[in-house]
Amino acid sequence: MKLVTFCCESKELRPGVLTEAGVVDLVATDPSISSSIREIFVNDELKKASAAAASDSAVLVQNATLRAPISDPQKIVCIGLNYREHAIESGMAKDSEFGPSEPTVFSKFPSAILGPEESINIPAASKEVDYEAELVVVVGRRAKAVSKAEAMDYVAGYTIGNDVSARDWQLKKPGGQWMMGKTFDTFAPIGPAIVTTDEIPNPESLSITLRLNGETMQDSTTGELIFGIAEVVSYLSQVFTLEPGDLIFTGTPSGVGFARKPPVFLKAGDVCEVEIEGLGVLRNPCV
Ligand code: ZN
């Protein structure tokens, strides 16, 4: 099931399911369904949503505009340096052969979230805005100190993310300011849909690419992840409780702009497209 958030003429955000026939309006089809994707996870309504989407009386929306599938997560957690080649190109691999020995963790605020086709704002405060194609794990159930073996039971699905990063803030400020560099407004594009785990049986062997103005800049597979999905969910949950709707950006492969010679940074007029096998394409222009 492809869960989306859409808006229509009223501009009100509503949960939906993307089907071959179009977007099914879940609440119009079944008014007992919660009014956001996050609440659908909180209230354990995935089966109800699936039944509504498949029913003969499913209400299809004309001219739906997709927005970020989740706009109000309690947490956005990000894993840095989780692909070996990227850790090396960043000059941050503790060991060039093995990469970091434990996940590097930072966060973004929900105010950074952006939907598909919405514009990434290149802020006046940064001269070094970069892109990062990422698989995003969406938490489906509350997870506290779960083991690696049980961790996948807490994952609802996956979406595409672009971990937009101001490198001058992240790397060149005194002491380093990872979070400041990562959480400018509009720096967390996600979408277009949350694809539930039943449709993605192999989340750790998906092709992942990023195109900048049509040119492929990153081209890898999630099989290259150093810390896999179950390991990351378990690791994080030892420290804080993961809640339904929380987003985990799992890290980016090599090919980012700042590591190129010469470096490439985003500017107004650029277009980023992140594509992950089975999850679609997340496209965002820059302004
Ligand atoms: Zn990242």
10-residue mean pLDDT profile of the chain (287 residues): values are: 90 94 96 98 98 96 94 96 86 64 93 98 98 98 98 98 97 86 98 98 98 98 96 98 98 96 98 98 98
Ligand 1 centroid–CA 142 distance in Å is: 24
- The structural domains of the chain, with segments of one domain joined by +, span 2-67, 76-285
Q: What's the fold here for domain 76-285?
A: Fumarylacetoacetate hydrolase; domain 2 (3.90.850)
Helix (H) or strand (E) holding 106: strand 104-108
How far, in Å, is the centroid of ligand 1 from the Cα of 95? 19
Q: What pLDDT, on a 0 to 100 scale, did the predictor assign at position 9?
A: 74
- Is residue 22 a contact partner of residue 60, using CB atoms and an 8 Å limit? yes
* Phi, psi angle pair for 202, to nearest 5°: -125, 60
Query: Closest Cα partner for 133 from 65, 210, 213, 246?
Result: 210
Q: What is the pLDDT of residue 86?
A: 87
In angstroms, what is the span from residue 29 Cα to ligand 1's centroid?
A: 37
Predicted local confidence at residue 140, as pLDDT? 98
For β-strands 188-196 and 113-114, DSSP reports them as: parallel
Q: How far away, in angstroms, is 93 Cα from ligand 1 center?
A: 15
The alpha carbon of 62 and the centre of ligand 1 are apart by a number of angstroms equal to 35
